[in-house]
Structure 1
Amino acid sequence: MKRLFFLCLLLLVSISSLTAQKPVVTAYAPTREEIAKRYKRANELDTLARRSVFKSNVVPNWSGASSFWYRNTLADSVAEYVFVDPSQNTKKVLFDPVKLAASLTQATGKTVDSRRLALKDIYVYPGTNRIAIATGTLFFDVDLASYQLSKIHSLPVDTTSYPNLTRATSRWQRGRQNLVSPDKKYTVAIKDYNITITPTEGGAPVMATTDGTQDIPYSDVTWSPDSRYLVTYRVKRVVDKPVYYILTSQPGTTRGELKQQPYKQPGDDFTTYEMHVVNIANKSNNKVATDIIDFFDAPRLRWNDGDPGHFMYERVDRGHQRFRIIEVNADDLSTRNIVDEKTQTFIYEQRIFTYYLPATSEILWVTEKDGWRHIYLVDAKNATVKNPVTTGEWVVRNIDSVDVKKREIWFQASGMNAGEDPYNVHYYRIGFDGKNRITLTKPGFNHRLSYSPDKKYFVDVYSTPNQPTVAVLCNTSDGEKIMDIEKADVSRYTKAGFRLPEVFHAKGRDGKTDIWGVICRPTDFDPKKKYPIIENIYAGPQDAFVPKTFSPFGEMQSMAELGFIVVQIDGMGTANRSKAFHDVCWKNLADAGFPDRIAWMRAMATKYPQADTGKVGLYGTSAGGQNSLGGLLFHPEWYKAAVSAAGCHDNRVDKQWWNEQWMGYPVGKHYDEQSNITNAAKLKGNLLLIVGEADTNVPPESTYRVVDALIKANKSFDFLAVPGMGHSDGGPYGRAKKRDFFVKNLLGVEPPNRNN
């Protein structure tokens, strides 16, 4: 008996312990009257949130070498202008607003409110007690001793800059075509589809080419710096086919207005460029020993310093699986590859950073060739990598600048700090040799830096979704703080009862990789209630999308106020992590990271039983519109309701440059297999489709074809087409319908009737 008694006691203790760890929760089941109050409360909180956080957006406007001014918006929309001089370690109000308003009132004849001075721009004269201001369409010099105004035509231009600094230009941004040679001896013209060269000091024009035709003319000329060569192309033009849309409700008309625009879709042909070099000495024209350029535009040419007979250009092969930097010998027309990167998946060409250092025949190259995005120093003479500049299981996010003289790189990166959100952006400086790396930012936050023109100082604005914004002034030499600039004032915000989002991470599909997201709950969250989950989804592989900075207002929190737990997640297939993490999207956009998202939400519900995994919805726009419908088509066991706006539902219908980057070229059966249109008959759950009839980003027919397929499959769904609207989630009306849709389908309550 004693043994039985102790066993029963142990069982009771165990049950009591489990109950204490996981509270008993019941499904949140609001009445229609309660939902009406929630709608009203959500609208009130939206307005209140916008007006309850101050000093959270410091944007330094640099003046001279290192001083700056910025504007604070205070309570009741009061404007405050502040001036900081790091060299003097001072921070002060830039001017007396009452005196300036009085002077502006007198000068303009219009009453100016000193509390809400609307200055579009300010120039601070160095070393003087004088500023110049722009207000409306007027410009004034202001003597801060007397507040006397002098009308001027425009603000002075600050030309202060840091020496020895280079910044990369777009690889597709060609130099301006100059028809006159650098030595001014020749002028180029295109006549009858061919190149003619005319001496500027007299002489007959010489036909440098003769095989140009109307269908394949010569075009796009570039001189060598020493005027010895002229690079040109035989160009076979391709006219892009149009897409159409109809404006159905134009004022003052009785007929719809048909619109069209050229629009390249996956698989469409490109204009091609056959590269030629004209030797000016003998006027000979010869084709360069390289393949015809059949992807993108004619490239930007970079002529070698000290050896003007050679130039380099960059090439991405169609399909995004090969990237080259090719050097051309203008004398013998031969070529060689300085860089030749190949991959079995994709090269994200928009994230390939290249910085050319012609004085030393070097190139700084940012690539993911070794699994993580890093910087490499390339010896252009020998076509070899001299050394990796950065290494490790973290990601270079951007290069801010390169100091050629000091051989230093100023760059941004994420994922370097163990135990921290791997998406947080931090700032660094490092030598070309990979040594002497300096960390400029503190761990635990997402940072945004603004450097002074002399590069001695920077303003660091940092925060996280649940840690309000702080702005500080620091030295670039070591990153040490000089002074506090501002700290966001959230006293009204917290007093009003707002809940900050929770940053949450859990293991993904492989049980190893951390997946990161945020959780928004209603301000009156009841831990004894179980709330439906709504996911805000955008799985476009071009970036990562979960917010990393503090923001007092957003649609997710607003929607949570209606009685939901609203989440946003970055699953595998999105950017800013390892190459392997990103590669999941390759020819696989329908995946959309769903296995990671579902695993993340399961982990959230394990920790927080208030999350109802039996009632999960999702919404998204554009690629997110594709993803949200995809959730119902491919994962109906998890998602029960979706709002899909402006979706690119079939990757063959959408724009070429985006879709071939991730789905590859040529267009294969995988495009069809992953199409929401092809799979529309699989629909389960509740769906609202939204499209703007004037969408010039994703053709509206992408959504209409889904509608057609659903009708043919005899499926039930809701559909909203918004006259005159472009690429959007439906605007205010569409967002209201989105809320109503989830209230009805996840909470089981009829939303307020707006027709009463």
Structure 2
Amino acid sequence: MDNERAITFVLRDSTWRCRLANYGCTNDGPVRPRPESAPPFPWQAGPGQLWRIEGLPPLTSPDGTLEALIWNYNVVVRRVGSDSLRLLSTDGSEGNRYTRASMVWSPDSKRLAVYRVIPGYPREIHYVESSPDDQLQPKSSSLLYAKPGDVLDREQPVIFEVAERREIAVNDSLFPNPYALSPLVWRKDGRRLTFEYNQRGHQVYRIIEIDAATGATRAVISEEPKTFFYYSDARGGGKKFRADVNDGAEIIWMSERDGWNHLYLYDGATGRVKNQITHGEWVVRSVDTVDVGHRQIWFTASGMTPGEDPYFVHAYRINFDGSGLVAFTGAKASHAVSFSPDRAYYVDRWSRVDQPPVAELRRASDQSLVMELERADDSALRATGWRYPEVFVAKGRDSVTDIWGIIVRPTTFDSTRRYPVIERIYAGPHGSFVPKTFSPQTEMQALAELGFIVVQIDGMGTSNRSKAFQDVAWKNLADAGFPDRIRWHQAVAARYSSYDITRVGIFGNSAGGQNALGALLFHPEFYQVAVSSSGSHDNRMDKIWWNELWMSWPIGPQYAASSNV
């Protein structure tokens, strides 16, 4: 704020402004209400759905002379300021409609690309609000909610040469069975455009380029794993990252093809790998910045340092050709790094479950310490009798792979007593869930205070380790890493006589609720009690994206085999 001379933040219901010159802070008044913008359709409706977006204004061409819009399900154009419409398409209908939300003009304003959509099955789920605030009688409502196996919207890219009113048919042989297609994006020369194809079942994911003059297509990159491609963005915990360099002359791409999540440099013209940028038995977690001018990538990764918790996140920089790896973080902990705008300095905030947060200012040029900004003091917390969770590692089902977890004990812990054990579980394949940074662990600690030892474990089938580690979940969510979890419990009991594995309970929510009940159904010899909340007990009944990603498509016997019902 104020030309970088002040910062603002919200505290409770007020906005505060702090000036960097004197560190003086003033209350700028109540928080301004944010404008409400209801989405045109709920995200649970499934992929596609662009045809549901109504009321968008006409799309003006880059040269400012034409507007494109939808009229009676067809694409039309008109001169800016004119009401006279020119049809570009005539085959649009309720069941085969063009979508304004997908329209993109070529940079030279000569062509228009758009998706034509055949709507899928509009599944609805229904709710009854028994006791609404504004009336005595109940209310009913419904929500669009696609489930595994449903017929989805089918999108087909179409290109129009505007002056000639000519449609260019796009060859769909490279995208025959889409789960979803990404937005159409033109190259700067206006001769090509690209989109991403996510095939139903998630075993094929492609970057596809269209020749705008002929409609011919080619796969610039085709990712074809034997199990699944985790297509969620890497910045949100997924395994997909793409950066086009010099308008697609090169592409930086993330892949698990060698068994670990790494970055590759592609030749955009030939579709061939120029070189693997990162490699080793560790995983790239996310990409912070691609510096095209210096041909460098700033990224985070875990598992690179031998002898360290493989989930600890560290920050690095590497050259496009795979040389010049620089580590910005060193402490054995999980790090969150924030760089200055010119990347000359960075703040490194790090902690562990047994180490309160430390914030340091460092130079990017040599990673030297400028100053320690803050070091949290947990002495008052420890004075209450609270103790750090114990990090515990044991071998998994294969007697080779390390399985990591934490142990939380009551503040009144007596090593001569035997304590029943409660496991907190969430085994969703989309992430890893054992805490790695400092926290009082209030939920787990509160349970421990009732006279339990409380634990959390990341078994096989979860993310942020090798591809093989996560693949255990494929078509088998019922596994939930239980063979690893049980081995881990047994290892703890072998070390500590206070750990009573004849009395083991388990609890979880959502996918964790499914896991908790699954513990009793599939492993009753070990787990005695379960508490399940909001469990997705049959994956055929839950949202489409999450369940088809791990359980695959089409619906087969694997769904019934993993069901708690």
Instruction: Find 1:137's aligned residue among 30, 35, 44.
Output: 30
CA contact (8 A) 1:64 1:453 kept: no
Q: Give the direction of change, closer, same or farther, for the CA distance of 1:569–1:117 in structure 2 (3 Å limit).
A: closer
Q: Secondary structure at the match of 2:468?
A: helix
From 289, 293, 301, the equivalent of 2:171 is 289
Letter in 2 for 1:325: I
Equivalent residue for 2:312? Answer: 424
Q: In the alignment, what sits opposite 2:411?
A: 523
1:535 to 405, 420, 423: 423
Aligned 8 A contact 1:617 1:642 in 2: yes
CA distance in 2, matches of 1:222, 1:485: 48
Distance 2:401 2:421 in 1: 23
Equivalent pair of 2:107/2:186 in contact (CA under 8 Å): yes
Which stretch of the first structure deviates more once superposed, 342-351 or 617-626?
342-351
Cα 1:478–1:369 change in 2 (3 A) is: same
CA 1:547 to 1:227, structure 2 compared with 1: closer, same or farther past 3 Å? same
The corresponding residue for 1:454 is 342
Return the structure number with greater relative CO, CA threshold 8 A, min gap 6.
Answer: 1
- The equivalent of 2:92 in structure 1 is 212
Tell me the equivalent position of 2:564: 676
Whole-Å separation in 1 of the counterparts to 2:193 and 2:215: 11
Deviations 1:124-178 (A, max 9, x none): 36xx558674444289xxxxxxxxxxxxxxxxxxxxxxxxxxxxxxx9999x986
CA contact (8 A) 2:282 2:304 kept: yes
> In structure 1, what residue type is equivalent to 2:60?
V
Q: Is the 8 A contact 1:429 1:439 kept in 2?
A: yes
Structure 1 gaps of 5+ residues are: 1-61, 72-80, 82-115, 140-170, 678-756
- 1:299 and 1:313 in contact (8 A); partners too: yes
Determine the structure 2 residue equivalent to 1:303.
Answer: 186
Q: Secondary structure at the match of 2:257?
A: coil
Q: List aligned pairs for 1:327-726, cutoff 5 A.
A: 327-350=209-232, 351-359=239-247, 361-677=249-565
Q: Which has the higher strand share?
A: 2
Alpha-carbon distance between aligned partners in 2 of 1:202 and 1:523, rounded to the nearest angstrom: 76
Say if 2:14 and 2:30, in contact at 8 Å, map to a contact too.
no
1:37-71 per-residue CA deviation (whole Å, 9 max, x = no partner) reads xxxxxxxxxxxxxxxxxxxxxxxxx9967x88799
Determine if contact 1:407/1:432 at 8 Å carries over to the other structure.
yes
**Structure 2 gap ranges (5+):** 33-46, 51-55, 233-238
Once the two structures are overlaid, the 10-residue window that deviates more, 379-388 or 582-591, is 379-388
Q: What is the CA–CA distance in structure 2 between the aligned matches of 1:121 and 1:423, rounded to whole Å?
A: 36
Distance 1:277 1:70, change over 3 A: closer
Instruction: Give the deviation of 1:256 after TM superposition.
Output: 3.4
Deviations 1:356-393 (A, max 9, x none): 12346111111111111101111101111111111100
* Distance in 2 (alpha carbons) for counterparts of 1:375 and 1:622: 32
Contact persistence 1:271–1:294 (CA under 8 A):
no
AA of the residue aligned to 1:214:
E
Q: Which whole-Å CA distance do the structure 1 matches of 2:182 and 2:90 have between them? A: 23
For each residue in 1:495-534, what CA deviation from the matched residue of structure 2 results, as whole angstroms up to 9, or x when unmatched? 2211110011110000000000000011111111110111
Q: Pick closer, same or farther for the CA change 1:222–1:560 going to 2, 3 Å.
A: same
Does residue 1:180 correspond to 2:60, yes or no? yes
User: How far is the alpha carbon of 1:420 from its aligned partner?
Assistant: 0.6
Q: What secondary structure is seen at the aligned counterpart in 2 of 1:277?
A: strand
SS at match of 2:147: coil
Q: Is the 8 A contact 2:114 2:184 kept in 1?
A: no
- CA–CA separation in structure 2 for the residues paired with 1:196 and 1:283: 10
What's the CA shift string for 1:536-583, capped at 9, x where partnerless?
Answer: 000000100000001024211111111111000000000000000000
> How does the TM-score come out when normalised to structure 1?
0.68
Residues 6 and 18, structure 2, Cα contact 8 Å, conserved in 1: no
The TM-score, its normalising length taken from structure 2, stands at 0.90
Higher helix share: 1
Give structure 1 regions of 4+ aligned residues with deviation exceeding 3 angstroms. 62-65, 67-71, 116-121, 128-136, 171-174, 199-205, 249-256, 291-298
Do 2:192 and 2:209's aligned partners in 1 also have CA atoms closer than 8 Å?
yes
Partners in 1 of 2:82 and 2:143 — Cα distance? 46
Distance 1:320 1:412 in 2: 25
Residues 69 and 215 of structure 1, relative CA distance in 2, 3 Å threshold: closer
The aligned residue for residue 223 of structure 1 is 105
CA distance in 1, matches of 2:385, 2:231: 46
For the 8 Å contact 1:417–1:443, the answer to whether it is kept is no
Q: Deviations over 1:209-233 (max 9, x none)?
A: 1222232122232111111211123
- 236-245 or 544-553, larger mean C-alpha shift: 236-245
Q: Which residue of 1 aligns with 2:198?
A: 316
Go from structure 1 to structure 2 and tell me whether the alpha carbon gap of 1:173 and 1:265 turns closer, same or farther (over 3 Å shift): closer
Inter-partner Cα distance in structure 1 for 2:91 and 2:480: 50
Distance 1:172 1:361, change over 3 A: farther
Q: Which residue of 1 aligns with 2:37?
A: none
Of 11, 14, 17, which aligns to 1:122? 17
SS of residue paired to 1:349: coil
Partner residue of 1:261 out of 122, 127, 143: 143
SS at match of 1:625: helix
Q: Which amino acid aligns with 2:66?
A: Y
Contact 1:415 1:424 in 2 (8 A): yes
* C-alpha distance in structure 1 between counterparts of 2:294 and 2:250, whole Å: 15
What is the distance in 2 between the residues matched to 1:63 and 1:463? 33
Q: Which whole-Å CA distance do the structure 1 matches of 2:403 and 2:504 have between them?
A: 19
Please tell me the residue identity of whatever aligns with 1:194: N
Aligned partner letter, 1:399: V
User: Is the CA contact (8 Å cut-off) linking 2:510 and 2:533 kept in structure 1?
Assistant: yes
**CA–CA distance in structure 2, aligned partners of residues 138 and 595 of structure 1:** 50
Number of equivalent positions: 538
Could you tell me which residue of structure 1 aligns to residue 125 of structure 2? 243
Residue 437 of structure 1, CA deviation: 1.1
Q: Distance in 2 between matches of 1:259 and 1:194?
A: 32
| Matched residue, 2:161 | 279
Provide the rounded CA distance (Å) in 1 between the counterparts of 2:79 and 2:176. Answer: 31
* Aligned residues of 2:283 and 2:301 also touching (Cα < 8 A): yes
Contact persistence 2:8–2:16 (CA under 8 A): no
State how far apart, in whole Å, the 2-side matches of 1:599 and 1:203 are: 73
Counterpart-to-counterpart distance in 1, 2:466 and 2:559? 25
Change (3 A) 1:537 1:123: same
- Give the counterpart letter for 2:447 in structure 1: M
Q: CA shift at 1:270, angstroms?
A: 1.3
Which SS does the other structure have where 2:59 is aligned? Answer: coil
Q: Is the 8 A contact 1:173 1:300 kept in 2?
A: no
Distance (Å, rounded) in 2 between the aligned partners of 1:63 and 1:472 = 26
Supply the RMSD in Å over aligned alpha carbons: 2.7
Aligned residue type for 1:673: A
Counterpart of 2:462 in 1: which secondary structure? Answer: coil
Indicate conservation of the 8 Å contact 2:419/2:500, yes or no: yes
Distance 2:200 2:443 in 1: 39
